[in-house]
Amino acid sequence: MAGIGLKLNKLKHWSVCFGALLLLTSCGYNELRYPEEVDMSQMHREAKDGDSPNHTGHEGHGTPAAGDSAAAVSCTELKEAEPAAGEPVRNFELTAAKTVLTLDNGKRTEAWTFNETSPGPELRVKEGERVKVTLANRDIGKGVTIHWHGVILPCSQDGVAGVTQDAVWPGEQFTYEFIARHPGTYWYHSHQQSSEQAGKGLVGRLIVEPKQSDFDYDLDYAVTLQMLNDKLKLTNGRTDGLRLDAAPGESVRLRLINAYSEVQWIGVAGAEFRVISIDGQVLNGPGAIREQWIPIGGGQRYDVLFTMPASGQVKVYSKEHKAWNIRLGSGPIPEPLSKDAPQFDFTNYGTPLADGITNDMKFDRVYDLKLGILDINGKKFHEIPPLLVKEGEWIKIRFKHTFGGPHPMHLHGHLFKILTKNGKPLTGSPIYADSVLLFSGEEYEVAFQANNPGLWMEHCHNLGHAANGMTMMVNYEGMTTPFRVGTRSGNLPD
């Protein structure tokens, strides 16, 4: 018996040591994660002398780095021009607050909300409209911001705490203003402690309706798929899925927004469908398909178009989590997809359309980003050298996912074109997107033109990964910011 006692004691001893080790590691880790103060426009200073990611085709090192130039420009100066006389403005107010939500199943849950709902109100505007949103923070002690995910806007309106603004503290407000130039399906979320705040409910939809649609449809619905408080799978805020009206013969544009961090595999049962848009950007010549699972990465949007069948019902749902479902119309529930149905593949879907952006064109800079489990090129967050760019340049990024879970890599302020997957050029419609989803072992090359000066985040939109360091910057040379990330300012963007 003494022997067992000894073993137990040893075990206890080891658990204590192991616990202490974990604590130490995590403390040290947090310190590394959020230092006291970082200037996100100046990170290259610590990272100079051969420590930058590979880049070729440019004199690079010889040029002034972000912030070095005498003609330095602050990101805060980059705003929309004043509205023309009489130009209409779409005004919205969003108040972030702690709320106790009463769910459709009668249960109550604490959440952080915009206007006391989660997701927040759906903002619908028309292409070209000027949008003004006043964010007020009632009582979110950690501060909030709003990032307009996927929207191409001036840097000062991007809503990244410590980069483009200070977090908005309780009792304060901040007004965002931008022109909704690109029609499409977008969303908004706090970019202050994004992982925690989006998870607690600070998310919402932004739909920019086209002046003239490339596609015809009778009905236009947008749906947020969200995980609230790590456990509630909500479909537009409902716990048991969403029901939408649609009559046989009517055509439906269904905009799907994955506001959760994990990939959602979505099926359309009961009708053939077209994927008409990815990340808000329309596809060229999308053909009708059926029986395919669409992998939607964290933060990504897919719009599908289908015609309601005579039988009356279409069901759009998650393969793995039945709570995420949308039932349109009435009638018998359609036959589900086979679990083994193929994956939707955008690399050969739709019709090519020459735009002059190809893999073999000349790029001014080429960057390699190797994605680990929770790192980029073996580094984390502010330790990752930013990708420096200059206005007008063409940039290629080669993402390589070597090991670990899926990474939906999201770039702020730009649309990139996806050039290749695993070395092979795409053969279907051009795909322009603000994110690319990589599974382990995959490689993608994307291209964009540096046509929106500023300081822009490039990060994994599995927000847990971002919070653990999979966040870096794309910085325009000469750009500065008066804001600081870190424990001193309290700006912790994730």
Distance between CA atoms of residues 476 and 458, nearest Å: 13
Interaction with Cu ion in 155-214: which residues (CB under 5 A)? Answer: none
Our measurement of the distance from residue 338's CA atom to the centroid of its chain's CA atoms, rounded to an integer in Å, reads 29
Using the minimum distance from each CB to Cu ion, give the nearer residue, 301 or 465: 465
Based on the shown chain and the rule CB under 5 A, indicate whether residue 410 belongs to the binding site for Cu ion.
no
Distance CA 153, CA 155 (A): 6
At closest approach, how far in Å is the CB of 376 from Cu ion? 9
Residue nearer to Cu ion on the CB measure, 416 or 476: 416
Is 465 a binder of Cu ion (CB under 5 A)?
Answer: yes
Q: Does 481 bind Cu ion (CB under 5 A)?
A: no
Within residues 340-399, the interface with Cu ion by CB under 5 A covers: none
Of these, 460, 463, 479, 492, which contacts Cu ion (CB under 5 A)? Answer: 460
Taking the least distance from each CB to Cu ion, the nearer of 253 and 465 is: 465
Residues 6+ apart with CB under 8 A from 53: 367, 368, 369, 377, 385, 387
CB of 460 vs Cu ion, minimal distance in Å: 3
Q: Which stretch binds Cu ion (CB under 5 A): 79-87, 168-176, 442-450, 454-462?
A: 454-462
Does 253 interact with Cu ion (rule: CB under 5 A)?
A: no
Identity of the amino acid at 458: E
- HSE, CB side, 13 Å, CA atoms: give it for residue 99: 22
Please identify, using beta-carbon distances, which residue of 150 and 241 lies nearer to Cu ion.
150
What is the b/e burial string over 206-220, where b = at least 16 CB atoms within 10 angstroms of the residue's CB?
Answer: bbbeeeeeeeebeeb
Nearer to Cu ion, 149 or 407 (CB): 407
Q: How far apart, in whole angstroms, are the C-alpha atoms of residue 492 and residue 185?
A: 27
C-beta of 317 vs 381, nearer to Cu ion = 381
CB of 412 to Cu ion, least distance (A): 16
The number of beta carbons lying within 10 Å of the beta carbon of residue 117 is: 16
State the minimum distance, in angstroms, from the CB of residue 297 to Cu ion. Answer: 9
Asked if 407 interacts with Cu ion (CB under 5 A), we say: yes
> Which of 162/297 has CB closer to Cu ion?
297
Q: Which is nearer to Cu ion, 304 or 438 (CB)?
A: 438
| Distance of alpha carbon 181 from alpha carbon 22, whole angstroms | 48
Our CB check for Cu ion shows the closer of 153 and 470 to be 470
Sequence letter at residue 349: Y
* Binding segment (CB under 5 A) for Cu ion, from list 72-80, 147-155, 171-179, 464-472: 464-472
Distances (CA, A) of 361 to 85, 395, 447: 43, 11, 10
The CB-of-264 to Cu ion minimum distance in angstroms stands at: 15
Give min distance, CB of 150 to Cu ion, in A: 18
Beta bridge partners of 410: 435, 459
CB of 230 to Cu ion, least distance (A): 17
Q: Evaluate the omega torsion of the peptide bond into residue 119 and state whether it is cis, within 30 degrees of 0.
A: yes
Q: Which of residues 274-313 bind Cu ion (CB under 5 A)?
A: none
Q: Which residues pair with 133 in a beta bridge?
A: 92, 176
Q: Shortest distance, CB of residue 470 to Cu ion, whole angstroms? A: 5
Tokens of 441: 């072992």
C-beta atoms surrounding 106 within 10 Å: 7
| Stretch near Cu ion under the rule CB under 5 A, chosen from 67-75, 279-287, 347-355, 401-409 | 401-409
Distance separating alpha carbons of residues 397 and 161, to the nearest angstrom: 25
Nearest alpha-carbon partner for 298 in 187, 197, 220, 396 = 187
Closer residue to Cu ion (CB): 238 or 465: 465
Nearer to Cu ion by C-beta: 366 or 376?
376
Q: Is 412 in the site for Cu ion (CB under 5 A)?
A: no
Interface with Cu ion (CB under 5 A), residue total 4
Smallest gap, in angstroms, from Cβ of residue 462 to Cu ion? 4
Residue 462 within binding range of Cu ion, rule CB under 5 A: yes
**Contact region with Cu ion (CB under 5 A), list: 79-87, 108-116, 404-412, 444-452:** 404-412
Task: Name the one residue in this structure whose structure tokens are 């403005």.
Answer: 89
Integer distance in angstroms from the first to the last C-alpha of the chain?
51
Q: Given the complex with Cu ion, which of 210 and 405 has the nearer CB atom?
A: 405
Where in 384-427 does DSSP place strands (E)? 387-389, 394-401, 407-411, 416-421, 424-425
Q: Supply the minimum distance, in Å, between the C-beta of residue 408 and Cu ion.
A: 7
The distance of closest approach from Cβ of residue 438 to Cu ion in the complex, given in angstroms and rounded to an integer, is 8
Stretch that binds Cu ion, among 161-169, 214-222, 382-390, 463-471 (CB under 5 A): 463-471
Q: Strands of 270-379 (E only): list them.
A: 273-278, 281-282, 294-296, 301-307, 313-318, 325-329, 365-371
User: Which residues, at least 6 apart from 10, have a Cβ–Cβ distance to it below 8 Å?
Assistant: none
Distance (Å, whole) CA 333 – CA 311: 9
CB of 279 to Cu ion, least distance (A): 17
List interacting residues with Cu ion (CB under 5 A).
407, 460, 462, 465
